[in-house]
Chain A
Amino acid sequence: MKTYNYTEKKDTRSGFGAGLAELGRKNPNVVALCADLVGSLKMNQFIDENPERFFQVGIAEANMMGIAAGLTIGGKIPFTGTFANFSTGRVYDQIRQSIAYSNKNVKICASHAGLTLGEDGATHQILEDIGLMKMLPGMVVINPCDYNQTKAATIAIADYKGPVYLRFGRPSVPVFTPKNQTFEIGKAIQLQEGTDVTIIATGHLVWEALEAAKALNEKGISADVLNIHTIKPLDDNAILKSINKTGCVVTAEEHNYLGGLGESVARVLVKNNPAPQEFIATNDTFGESGKPQQLMEKYGLNYKSIVESSIKVIERKNN
């Protein structure tokens, strides 16, 4: 079993900020837009270094999405920044018509996704955004797991031509993936090799999946762990390869089980190789105020739930 250590915790949004700053230095076509959340999105360095390539649009997300679409005409690569809620649900039709249907090269960068936004509560804690965005034809959906991977993903999507939804968060989480990694859109990353159960996780739940695998190992259960940073296009082959070996799966995400990663995995299984699946996700509910860790505990989005669900899904497989 591989050992994963971390020396520091950092927020994934800062990974976005660092990636954007690096892009600003190496790609003159990259431009950034923000709807009055520069500090929250960690965009300051890009703005300081490239003031002429930054557009502060004020609290007007619909307008921001349209401006971003227009900026692509003439060759710019716009990165929009606001909270995940205001990056998706609030502007769904703008994204649908002016970006997705028009196939514009816009990168929709969304922070504070999920419950871990914390104290602001359910108005800001979107748990439906992955579903909204993955349903849009042609939209790539990415949810990286730590600072380093978010930075790498930010840099990588500038080289991909087409609309992308990049989802990240507010809390500090362990930094355990390699510095300066190459990010490959749509390619799952195998973190642990195991034979009894597959754990497929995205975003903040990837670290929890590793913790769960460690705890399971102590119980004599061997878990295969996949980091699915790209929810669309989904790495069907990696998922099937793992489940062909283990025969059951737990999916884990900071999102509603309706419309999330779990449903995408279920689709792949039903079509190719049906297997028992348990979902670590919110259960068709809104969030609430609280500390990020308290919320993840209350809504069952941590390594303990993954361990319990793993044991349960293995029992289902064996019965």
Chain B
Amino acid sequence: MNFTLDEFTSQVRRDILRMVHKVNSGHPGGSLGCTEFLVALYSTIMNRKDGFEMDGIGEDLFFLSNGHISPVFYSVLSRIGYFDVKELNTFRLLDSRLQGHPTTHEGLPGVRIASGSLGQGLSVALGAAEGKKLNNDPNLIYTLHGDGELQEGQNWEAIMYASAKKIDNIIATIDLNGKQIDGATDDVLPMGSIKQKFEAFDWLVVEIEKGNDLKEILEGMEKAKALSGKGKPICVLLKTMMGNGVDFMMHTHAWHGKAPNDEQLASALAQNKETLGDY
């Protein structure tokens, strides 16, 4: 890559904003909050092969469980080379591979499972992790989940299974932005200490306090990687700011699933420089 991660991040933010603005739908808030994480993951942390093969043998794999943040996922996948960035223009349009929520159905390179109906990604990732062990493939499985998503019971089946079966080649990251559609997670359904819950289920937990700081993310994820292979699954608690990088989208849950209008887009884009060239 002949650009900095800050430049990459700024461009991904612009992509997200322009994608949801164009079709007046989609989820900018969580996407912006996880931009640094996905940029760090795909640019630096993951061991990836060129091209895309569904089986992903000999490389790290990523599963997005909270599929509604598809804008950031699509932007990062295209910018890192899985498909042409021009295709971002088709987000949520008829006949597009960039469906509202990610899917394998249209054959979009980089996507290995459909997600959107929440709470299913961790189970799928555990299956892929078991598959890697059967194939003697030492690479890792990464996942991302919303914090509100943990209200889905299937997660806890999977969390229980992972430690019981000593699945130590998985690093599951929880986007702790404290918000969900109906408001603050603490108001909708308080979950108490997520850290203590994972620890009670015998996971190793790494906390990243500044989840929108590239340096802290890289350090935290290196720490998480170093914990792999020790007989326990690994959880990263990533504290993020929903809507990060756009002043009026921060400190609110209002932009969970709402697109900016023309004026708001102009203001948001003015806060994020075009670095790699708009699609």
Binding site for B on A (CB under 8 A): 31, 52-53, 55, 57-58, 60, 62-76, 78, 93-94, 96-98, 101-104
Contacts and interface: CB of A to CB of B under 8 A. Distances in A.
B104 A102 contact: yes
Contact of B105 (A70, A73, A93, A101): A101
Interface string B78-116: 000000000000000000000000011100000011111
- 8 A-B pairs with the lowest CB-CB distances in the bound complex, closest first: A70-B127, A66-B123, A74-B131, A63-B157, A60-B157, A67-B127, A70-B128, A70-B124
A71 B123 contact: no
Interface in B119-148: 120-132, 134-135, 137
B161 A70 contact: no
Interface string B145-176: 00000000110011011001100000000000
Contacts of B128: 70-71, 73-74
B113 A69 contact: yes
B254 interface: no
B112 A73 contact: yes
Contact of A67 (B103, B105, B116, B161): B161
B154 A74 contact: no
B127 A73 contact: yes
A52 B154 contact: no
A63 B158 contact: yes
B103 A102 contact: yes
A31 B134 contact: yes
B231 interface: no
Contact of B113 (A65, A78, A102): A102
B61 interface: yes
Interface string B246-259: 00000000000000
Interface of B: 54-57, 61, 63, 103-105, 112-117, 120-132, 134-135, 137, 153-154, 157-158, 160-161, 164-165
Choose among A64, A66, A96, A98 the residue with the greatest number of B CB atoms under 10 Å from its CB: A66
A72 B130 CA distance: 10
What's the dominant secondary structure at chain A's contact region?
helix
Contacts of A104: 113
23 contacts: A53-B134, A58-B161, A62-B157, A64-B123, A66-B120, A66-B123, A66-B154, A71-B128, A71-B130, A73-B128, A73-B131, A74-B55, A74-B128, A74-B132, A75-B131, A76-B131, A97-B116, A97-B120, A98-B124, A101-B103, A101-B114, A102-B104, A102-B113
Contacts of B105: 101-103
Nearest to B127: A70
A73 B54 contact: yes
B126 A70 contact: yes
Contacts of A68: 127
Contacts of A102: 103-105, 113-114
A127 B112 CA distance: 33
Nearest to B111: A102
Contact of B135 (A58, A60, A72, A75): A75
A94 to B, nearest CB: 6
A78 B124 CA distance: 12
Nearest to A65: B123
A62 B152 CA distance: 11
Contacts of B165: 55
A23 to B, nearest CB: 16
